Amino acid sequence: MSRRLIIEASLVGLGTALMLVALAADQGWWDRHFLPVFAVDRATMVAAEHTARGLIGLSGAVLSLVLRRPLANALIRATTGGTLRIIVAIVLALGAGELILRTQPPHPHDADPLQQEPRRSADTRLGWVFVPSRSVVVQEAGRRVPYSFDAAGYRVSGPGTAVDPEKPTILFTGESIIAGFGLAWDETIPARASALLRIQSADLAVSDYSSDQSYLRLATELPRFREPVAVVTLFMPSLFDRNLLDNRPRLAAGLIWQPPVHHWRLAALPTRSGTRRGAADRCTAIRSREPDRGDAAAAHPRCGRITVRARATRSELASAGRSAPRCTRHPGHRNRSGRAAARRVAEIAPGQGR
């Protein structure tokens, strides 16, 4: 068999494999292997998956029927030395790019850079925290938004204000929704709940946190407070994507702390874009064949352990979000306004005699 026939047969085999993959990847396969993007309508996601499936099949057909002979001719003319030079050049370019990227401080590619306002600093146990004792005004969505943080890194109403750990306090933990990204202090969930209940609030939330990081933050800060009245935590389905990542501190089975895994920096480049959270939040995350069961089960111990810690200090637990597995449900937060969620959280106390 001639070299040309071998190359053409290999290309036809590759094209056929692509077409078979497209046929096998029905909707059930996509549902088993990819997380939904909860901010996108399912019909849109299904259409995108069907488009990807069609493009894979079309690529296989074009490779087998149209590009087979041109590619075979190009491969036949290629010399061994020329091919090796191309391979070496590609490897050297990738290596140099990786070394250049490693000169920058590492941070998860799905999270904002730490220097973006409001600034955060690296933390060995938690990943990052807000820079303490700092105030800044940031232009967000066409308006000026002030951010202030006390010496503990909690967001507060303004410069010179601090959370008093000796007073009765409602502790809020979570990510940017609870932290109030893009909102003035009095528009945030902690501030509105505090005003309605007339109880001091402590905003422990930090932008881009996963559920594990939120729990670790609470576990670190809760012992400081003499009279914690309640613990309010956030849960929403879109956290599943973030909770599956290993590029940040996380909890393994038994709630054992695990350090972040630092992957190749080049692999993170396709998921970084000009948006606030990057393309990672808009792309589906590959998962196991039993994703919902595994990740929901992983969420339950964190939620339960937060409950245990809250009750150990005679606090109550509330959850602000659209659904919270095995925790009290308090839906209502929409578009970071904090208003609906704040009302839901605030209704917990009067109904239970506090």
Taking the complete model, does pTM exceed 0.75, yes or no?
A: no
pLDDT of 11 above 90 = yes
CA atoms within 13 Å, Cβ hemisphere of 260: 23
Q: What is the mean pLDDT of residues 152-174?
A: 95
Q: What is the mean pLDDT of residues 101-112?
A: 66
Q: Which has the minimum average pLDDT: 170-179, 273-282, 319-328?
A: 273-282
Dump pLDDT digits (tens) for 283-298: 333 344 344 444 444 5
* CA 108/CA 112 separation, integer angstroms: 8
Dump pLDDT digits (tens) for 214-242: 999 999 999 999 999 999 998 887 788 78
Residues 6+ apart with CB under 8 A from 209: 127, 174, 175, 217
Q: How far apart are the first and last CA of the chain?
A: 86
* CA 255/CA 258 separation, integer angstroms: 9
> What local confidence, expressed as pLDDT, does residue 285 receive?
39
CB count within 10 Å of CB 308 equals 10
Most distant CA pair in the chain, distance: 87
* CA 55/CA 256 separation, integer angstroms: 43
Q: What is the mean pLDDT of residues 51-63?
A: 95
* CA 292/CA 298 separation, integer angstroms: 10
* CA 100/CA 90 separation, integer angstroms: 15
Q: Which residues of 199-235 are buried (b: 16+ CB within 10 A; e: fewer)?
A: bbbbbbbbbbbbbbbbbbbbbebbeebeebbbbbbbb
Dump pLDDT digits (tens) for 180-213: 999 999 999 999 999 999 999 999 999 999 999 9
Is the model more confident about 163 or about 330? 163
Which position has the token pair 């009095």? 186
* CA 138/CA 146 separation, integer angstroms: 6
Q: Which is nearest to 229 in space by CA: 333, 138, 316?
A: 316
CB count within 10 Å of CB 105 equals 9
Q: Residue 8 is which amino acid?
A: E
pLDDT of 16 above 50 = yes
